[in-house]
């Protein structure tokens, strides 16, 4: 669907995007995450040539946009919707007219506009806000108008540039659910820029991690969470799925403290109960959580295991064999 081929974008002596290669499949929600200055927004704007790459190719539906004339690019942009962090609505126009603006710009007839705008308002849940001005809307409602406007010309691709960064957590969740519904019902390919790993966890199928203009890691979201390869990715995951054990809980312990990571089916099995049946040990749960990613569980448990040394060793080996990973955090003699 989208091939980003060796794309570089340079401003004077600064490489905002540095030799990026990515393939985004048709119908997927693809996340690009990185801290401010990583180059993710510049890369996104290269996809519809709002920023023309200094080098490389942007190929969408087998058409190389970088080889087109300015007039041809404007025509292709009608197939690429875009929503922004700060909405960019026309304050002097009502909701209906903000959405209709995109249709008028595409040369649609009055009859087509009158038919399409109500459909879009219903899609984003704003049928009762058609005659309101942007100033009369909440942040979430403004973004819904932005989404409706971006979908007006039935694009094949939707670009989202920090679309939820200006919203509170509850509103963010509702906007993400709307985008997920749009992806599922319309089959639109969504490319989503964010600096929040929670956004990636909730909605994306795959994700690329950017640092200093380069893509340093790409993977299925679940696999990225379960087995991050770079230090930056680990930092992002730590904001969503992490356990920090207070130092006081290590004081006075009689057995080793271990962290057990569960992936997939192992997170839903009674491994600890089975361990207690097989070996003469006690397991004291100190901390734990299960995060669901794409409806698949990813769990972490921190426990103290006490008993005879040999039995503890056998129990640890048994748990290690049954789970994805076990790490001894403190080996109490």
What is the residue-level pLDDT of the chain in tens, covering all 333 positions?
A: 899 999 999 998 899 999 999 999 999 999 999 999 999 999 999 999 999 999 999 999 999 999 999 999 988 888 999 998 888 899 999 999 999 999 998 889 999 999 999 999 999 999 999 999 999 999 999 999 999 999 999 999 999 998 898 889 999 999 999 999 999 999 999 999 999 999 999 999 999 999 999 999 999 999 999 889 999 999 999 888 777 777 777 778 889 999 998 887 777 788 999 999 999 999 999 988 888 888 888 888 899 999 999 999 999 999 999 887 888 888 865
Separation between Cα atoms, residue 209 and residue 195, nearest integer Å: 10
Topology annotation, domain 247-330: Alpha-Beta Plaits (3.30.70)
CA distances from 237 to 144, 195, 215 (A): 28, 11, 17
- Give the contacts of 60 (CB within 8 A, at least 6 positions apart): 1, 2, 3, 47, 76, 79, 80, 156, 157
What is the per-residue pLDDT for 332?
66
Q: Specify the DSSP element, H or E, that contains 275.
A: helix 271-278
- 247-330 has the same fold as 2-238: no
Over residues 315-332, the pLDDT tens digits come to 999 999 988 788 888 886
What is the per-residue pLDDT for 333?
54
What is the per-residue pLDDT for 28?
97
What is the per-residue pLDDT for 291?
86
SS3 state at 213: coil
Query: Of 1.10.3720.10, 3.40.50.300, 1.10.260.40, 1.20.120.10, which CATH number belongs to 2-238?
Result: 3.40.50.300
What is the per-residue pLDDT for 292?
86
What is the per-residue pLDDT for 268?
77
Its sign, for the CA torsion 277, 278, 282, 287, is: negative
Query: Which has the closest alpha carbon to 134: 82, 94, 105?
Result: 94
Spell out the domain ranges in the chain: 2-238, 247-330
Work out the number of other CB atoms within 10 angstroms of the CB of residue 81.
26
Q: Are 256 and 305 in contact (CB under 8 A)?
A: yes
- Give the contacts of 14 (CB within 8 A, at least 6 positions apart): none
């Amino acid at each position: 669907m989208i091939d980003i081929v060796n794309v570089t974008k340079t401003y004077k002596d600064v490489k905002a995007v540095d030799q990026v290669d990515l393939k985004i499949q048709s119908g997927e929600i693809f996340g690009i995450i990185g801290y401010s200055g990583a180059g993710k927004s510049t890369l996104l704007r290269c996809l519809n040539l709002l920023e023309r790459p200094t080098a490389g190719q942007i190929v969408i539906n087998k058409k190389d946009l970088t080889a087109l004339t300015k007039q041809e690019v404007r025509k292709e942009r009608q197939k690429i919707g875009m929503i922004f962090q700060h909405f960019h609505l026309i304050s002097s126009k009502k909701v209906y007219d903000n959405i209709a603006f995109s249709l008028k710009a595409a040369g649609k007839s009055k009859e087509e506009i009158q038919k399409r705008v109500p459909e879009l308002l219903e899609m984003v849940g704003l049928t009762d806000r058609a005659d309101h001005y942007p100033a009369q809307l909440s942040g979430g409602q403004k973004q819904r108008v932005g989404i409706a406007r971006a979908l007006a010309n039935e694009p094949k691709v939707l670009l989202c540039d920090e679309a939820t960064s200006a919203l509170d957590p509850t509103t963010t969740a509702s906007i993400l659910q709307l985008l997920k519904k749009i992806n599922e019902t319309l089959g639109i390919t969504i490319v989503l820029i964010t600096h929040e790993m929670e956004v990636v966890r909730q909605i994306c199928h795959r994700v690329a991690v950017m640092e200093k203009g380069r893509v340093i890691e790409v993977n299925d979201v679940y696999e990225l969470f379960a087995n991050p390869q770079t230090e930056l990715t680990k930092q992002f995951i730590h904001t969503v799925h992490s356990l920090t054990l207070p130092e006081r809980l290590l004081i006075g312990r009689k057995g080793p403290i271990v962290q057990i990571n569960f992936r997939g089916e192992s997170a839903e099995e009674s491994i600890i109960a089975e361990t207690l049946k097989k070996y003469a040990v006690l397991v004291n749960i100190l901390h734990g959580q299960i995060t669901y990613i794409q409806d698949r569980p990813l769990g972490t448990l921190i426990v103290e295991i006490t008993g005879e040394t040999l039995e503890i060793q056998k129990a640890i080996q048994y748990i290690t064999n049954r789970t994805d990973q076990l790490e001894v955090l403190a080996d109490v003699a």
